[in-house]
Chain A
Amino acid sequence: MTTALPTTPTTGVGARSKTDVRRRIGEKWFIPYLFVLPHLLVFALMIGWPFFYGIWISMLNADAFSGADAPFIGLDNYAQLFNSNSTQFGRFWQTLWNTVIFVIISVPTLIAIALGLAALLNERFRARNVFRGIYFAPWTLGVSVIGLLWFWIFFNNGLATTVVESLGIDAPIWLSSQPWAWITILIATIWWTIGFNTIILLAGMQSIAADLYEAATVDGANKWQQFRHITVPSLRPILLLVVTLQVIASFNLVGQPQIITNGGPPTAQTTPVLLHLYNVGFRSPFDVGLAAAMAVVVAVVMVVVSVINFRFFSSERA
């Protein structure tokens, strides 16, 4: 808004003519706030209130039935998560570690493959747009669709086993042994989400000035050198965005293991922390307060990771 100052009720014609537009908007001091209000309301209701309510619940001994009437227990829920003697300690940190491992493995993979695909799709060739569409298409599917799809491919003596064994190699039991269960989840995730990163990186590549490449060609740089020294450095701001989004997306892993491996093999080896906290809060033992505390801890971890990520990229730029 142009002004937030309370305007004194002016009646002078001269005043009006000076800043006609401003005046009309700012005639009453609260008018600007009215413009902000719709967004503020949505923000406060949909983001602000749940955020603080979540923190509040994490300090209650809340179960599925008590809601916010539950007794206040301060930081006891957090203590359960940080006390190595508590029954909740092991599983929480195990699943958080599962998530971190997934982030560490999936982020570089998903970025590297997307970068390569984007470079390929940036070339001129026939039916280029068709291929761009094909690579992006899986991203439009829901997690339940891709989950079931890849479940059936890897399940028991399914397609994956048949293909692998036709090559004369003994196929593992994909969904019930490690590390294959994680690899299955990773493959499904790559197939599902690679299109999103690819499209963003492709858009970034298309905005790189063509004369840079021309000049490089004149100087005798080959394709790889051009990619290494022009494309990648020019993409840095876009890469920051993609890496940040990918870290968050990988951290939010829930649906794929829930559907493909059900969090197993039995001992929660592919249970990410968010699936664990969902189970604790909404399955059994219905400990909503504890689940909220876990969510807060995970949120803090994510903020820290995002800050590190930001620092890393901005320091490299400097």
Chain B
Amino acid sequence: MHPSLFDPPAGSGIRGTGRIRLLALLALFALVFTACSGGGDESRAPAAPDEPADSQAPSASGSGGAEAAGIEPPSADVALEFWTPFTGADGDTMEELVAQFNSETPSVQVTLQRLPDYYTAVNNAVQAGETPEVMIMHIDALARYAAEEVVQPVGELTAQLNLSEEDFTPAVWAGTMWQDQQYSIPLDVHPQVLYYNRDLLEEVGAEVPTDRQGFEDALQKCTDAGYDQGVWSNHAFSAGLTWVTLFYQAGGEWTNEDYSEATFNSDAGVQASEYLLSLIEMGVQPQTVDPDAELTNLESGSACFATTGIWQTTRLQESLGEAFGEAPFPQIFDEPGNWAGSHTLAMRADLEGDELQGGSYFIDWLTSHSTAWAAGGQLPARSDVRESEQFASLKDIPDVAPVMDAVRFAPPIPGSGDMFFGPGGVWEKVGEMIASGLDPQEGLDAAAEQYTEILQTGKETYGY
């Protein structure tokens, strides 16, 4: 499932919602209003409408957007290219945000590029010496670009803004590190979630599950009532993510401390695999479900649940209407744990002077205006945005926010995501376990052996 490895939201078919447009329109109104009444001091960004309300008061941590901390747009005019993989409705939202930024900040003009096949495009641009000034980096892709010196450390920016891991979460903050330096600022976090159909749950008399007992009960009740299409499809982003979440919940670690050995063939890995298989055995999950069919099954009312990333929220909101609900994936094992990805913002390695300042200003602006972005099916990475009233007023998405404390990411080394998604990686083995009865321990051992070798090569190449 490589094409969507780094890029779940792009191909996810999220459709634009009226809500986003409405929000943008309101934003525009508020903007005009503020500009008219506030007296145009352009060197300081006007209080933007979807700025978290509490950020205007100096917060204890000193974070909270452009006003509170000391970064201003550059004095000279700069034009920046901003590359993203957002080709769907998420790209429309980003387009609106960038337009808002451009109108608020005349001296920094950002051009948004929405690219399919994103990393191929970035790599080609790097080769051609045309690396964009600002770019989206998925958290599991960042280390490679940091190691290859495509992007630059952002330590100065975070110091200037007084940002620290408390302003995000420790996991996502650590994920943007490469060899003790920070290379990007997280924009959002997109966890695996459990989608459900409220009407069907009510009909069968099941609760939204939060633990193992509740999960199995609910699945059993749904299956008994004929909603028997289970919860996942045979897809890396459905059954696959579930495996990772279970693996984290059972206390699994991808590698040992110094990244010299793949350790996902531990008990945790086996437990995660066996739990997936046990649901099939219980008869509450079909053995084979086409990739993405978990969504169509939920939409057509033949399943109570579906699980994949949070990025399908708007699509399902639209098709299920009031019956739609979403929640963190239930905690099956002892520890909290949840798969997630994250879009982070990075800048070209040789960016300097006014351009660097413009890029930094833009990144800070964008991350603190990420409520509208979140409405399209993301959790804002910045805590102040997540704790804002605007965010709380969004539909459904805030229900998933508690998962932020449980999310984990692959180790911050080049290519670590491959241990799961890559050729011969865990997902393939799990797929074989489900489809053709491969023994979990045996399958994971084979993958671990292969990736230990790849880690060793990586250590030589990148010196981690």
Contact = CB atoms under 8 A, between A and B. Distances in A.
Contacts of B144: 286
Interface in A111-159: 155-157
B291 interface: yes
A64 B296 CA distance: 37
Contacts of A285: 415, 418, 422, 454
Nearest to A177: B288
Interface residues of B, number: 40
Given A156-B289, A262-B3, 14 more contacts: A65-B127, A91-B423, A155-B293, A174-B290, A176-B234, A262-B291, A264-B431, A267-B432, A276-B423, A279-B423, A282-B120, A285-B418, A285-B422, A285-B454
> Among A91, A174, A264, A282, which residue has the most Cβ atoms of chain B within 10 A?
A264
> Among A65, A155, A176, A266, which residue has the most Cβ atoms of chain B within 10 A?
A266
Interface in B255-307: 288-293, 296-297, 302
A262 B428 CA distance: 13
Nearest to A68: B127
A78 B234 CA distance: 34
14 contacts: A65-B126, A87-B453, A87-B454, A155-B293, A157-B302, A173-B289, A176-B288, A176-B435, A267-B428, A267-B432, A282-B123, A284-B417, A284-B418, A286-B123
A176 B127 contact: no
A285 B296 CA distance: 32
B36 to A, nearest CB: 48
Contacts of A263: 2
B436 to A, nearest CB: 9
B431 A284 contact: no
A265 interface: yes
B290 A284 contact: no
Nearest to B421: A284
A175 B427 CA distance: 17
Contact of B293 (A67, A156, A286): A156
Contacts of B293: 155-157
A91 B423 CA distance: 8
B415 A176 contact: no
Specify the main secondary structure of chain A where it touches its partner: loop
Specify the main secondary structure of chain B where it touches its partner: helix
B290 A266 contact: no
B432 A266 contact: yes
A90 B424 contact: yes
Contacts of B292: 155
A284 B120 contact: no
A175 B5 contact: no
A196 B137 CA distance: 43
B430 interface: yes
A155 B234 CA distance: 13
A158 B427 CA distance: 26
Interface in B206-245: 234, 236
Contacts of A286: 123, 144
Interface string A248-266: 0000000000100011111
Closest 9 pairs between A and B when the two form their complex, measured CB to CB: A266-B431, A156-B293, A64-B123, A173-B288, A65-B148, A283-B2, A156-B290, A267-B428, A282-B120
B1 A262 contact: yes
A268 interface: yes
B435 A177 contact: yes
A175 B290 contact: yes
A31 to B, nearest CB: 38
A93 to B, nearest CB: 13
A266 B234 contact: yes
Nearest to A279: B2
Nearest to B435: A265
Nearest to B453: A87
A268 B290 contact: no
Contacts of A177: 288, 435
A263 to B, nearest CB: 8
Interface in A279-302: 279-280, 282-286
> Among A177, A282, A283, which residue has the most Cβ atoms of chain B within 10 A?
A283
B321 to A, nearest CB: 22
B119 interface: yes
A264 B1 contact: yes
Contacts of B111: none
A169 to B, nearest CB: 17
A157 to B, nearest CB: 8
B422 A173 contact: no
